[in-house]
Amino acid sequence: MSKIALAFVLAVVAALTHAQTVYQCAGPNGSMTYSQTPCGGNAKLIMSSGSKPKHDESTGDDAGMAAPKAIAKPLPDANIQAISDSVADSNCRRDAEHLFISPSTAKIEQAEADIRERQNRVWTGRNAAQVQSMGRMDEQEIISLRQIISTEQARNDSIAAESRRIVSDALAECDKKKAEREKAATL
């Protein structure tokens, strides 16, 4: 089974675990299908969170049935619940990782390119005083650009640190939910 098909089946199973009834059917090519309603002649009930009243054998129909007896709910298949829990945990962790904000480095990259351009400038065709003056202006601009780089890097470091903290908090929440699911499963 391909990874995409497996992921699809896991997602369907996770979604269906919240449904009242889940049926499993074998498709014509041997693939498994899951549904809330019988999906064919070979439908196999794999999970039910409630039960329907039984058909009244004496009258041959559902009319005149006595009130249904209280029937204990069957527990969901442990494998399906484990898959559902695994999918929920994976989704939580994926969503947490998506909270990371990667800071923009565009200003830093532009400033570095401007520094390289100024360092490679050659002033010619002017008198010595003008060449020295232009060189000093380039040096001052390079100093200013390095300050911009330093400020942007500090800003980006701060953004990344805050972003990592947010992701860490979200992952901790995922761990908490996982522990709650595991505790509920043992009860």
List Cβ neighbours of 97 (8 Å cut-off, separation of 6 or more): 167
- Closest of 73, 69, 71, 82 to residue 47, by C-alpha: 73
The residue type of 142 is: I
Map 30-46 to HEC letters: CCEEEECCCCCCCCEEE
pLDDT given for residue 151 in this prediction: 97
Going from the C-alpha of 106 to that of each of 17, 32, 109, 116, 148, the distances in angstroms are 46, 49, 5, 15, 12
CA distance 121 to 135: 9
Instruction: Give the pTM.
Output: 0.51
What does the buried/exposed string (b/e) look like for 130-141 if buried means 16 or more CB atoms within 10 Å of the residue's CB?
eeeeeeeebeee
* pLDDT for the residue 185: 78
Domain-wise residue ranges, the chain: 1-50+71-97, 106-175
Q: What integer pLDDT is reported at residue 173 of this predicted model? A: 95
Supply the pLDDT for residue 6: 52
What's the pLDDT tens digit per position in 128-165?
A: 888 888 889 999 999 999 999 999 999 999 999 999 99
**How does pLDDT run across 58-117, given as a tens digit for each residue?**
444 444 444 444 455 555 577 787 888 888 899 999 999 999 999 999 999 999 999 999
Confidence check: pLDDT of 174 > 70: yes
**Whether the Cβ atoms of residue 44 and residue 24 lie closer than 8 Å to each other:** yes
